[in-house]
């Protein structure tokens, strides 16, 4: 028998996309990581976080924007950037997470040039806290006549 092996190589000139799955519990703060490399002031750039997978440009359903130095647009106080922006730490903190916060989040760092943006998709899963209860016991009462 003949056995043939085919190797496919895909070359991409588009943006870099990577991601992760993060799990959290209702009521906790969740940090969704994102960063970019900053050597000097010239490297500091605009970026956005959005709900849903990263589109071809900008952010779909944007929840937060920064000019690289400070937050310029914020859809809710529950979405915060608490890292050092000027060092490239643009991780998203979701304060007091709710089940409705579950879904995909896009981090887009706008790097000058064609198709240079750094994009990352993160899947966030927020679950209710598990309440541990002791196993039920059966109590019987004896009746005497």
- 135 has pLDDT over 80: no
Closest C-alpha among 60, 47, 33 to residue 112: 47
| Lowest mean pLDDT across 10-19, 33-42, 63-72, 92-101 | 10-19
What is the rounded CA–CA span in Å between residue 90 and residue 35? 5
Check residue 11 and give its pLDDT: 32
Check residue 115 and give its pLDDT: 87
- In this structure, which CATH number among 2.60.40.2550, 3.40.50.720, 2.60.40.10, 3.40.50.920 belongs to the domain 26-127? 2.60.40.10
Closest C-alpha among 47, 57, 51, 48 to residue 15: 57
98-127 average pLDDT score: 95
| N-terminal to C-terminal alpha carbon distance within the chain | 87
Check residue 99 and give its pLDDT: 97
Domain boundaries, the chain: 26-127
14-30 average pLDDT score: 78
- 121 has pLDDT over 90: yes
6-19 average pLDDT score: 39
88-116 average pLDDT score: 96
The alpha carbon dihedral of 131, 134, 135, 141 has a sign of negative
What is the rounded CA–CA span in Å between residue 9 and residue 22? 30
Check residue 16 and give its pLDDT: 41
The mean of the pLDDT values for the chain is 84
């Amino acid at each position: 028998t003949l056995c043939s092996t085919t190797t496919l190589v895909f070359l991409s000139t588009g943006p870099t996309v990577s991601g992760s799955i993060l799990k959290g519990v209702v009521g906790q703060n969740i940090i969704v990581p994102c960063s970019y490399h900053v050597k000097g002031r010239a490297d500091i750039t605009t970026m956005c976080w959005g709900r849903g997978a990263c589109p071809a440009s900008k952010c779909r359903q944007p929840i937060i924007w920064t000019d690289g130095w400070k937050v310029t647009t914020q859809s809710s106080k529950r979405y915060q950037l608490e890292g050092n922006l000027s060092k490239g730490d643009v991780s998203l903190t979701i304060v007091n997470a709710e089940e409705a916060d579950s879904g995909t989040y896009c981090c887009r760092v706008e790097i000058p040039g064609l198709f240079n943006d750094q994009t990352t998709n993160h899947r966030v899963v927020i679950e209710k806290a598990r309440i541990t209860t002791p196993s039920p016991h059966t109590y019987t009462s004896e009746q005497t006549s």
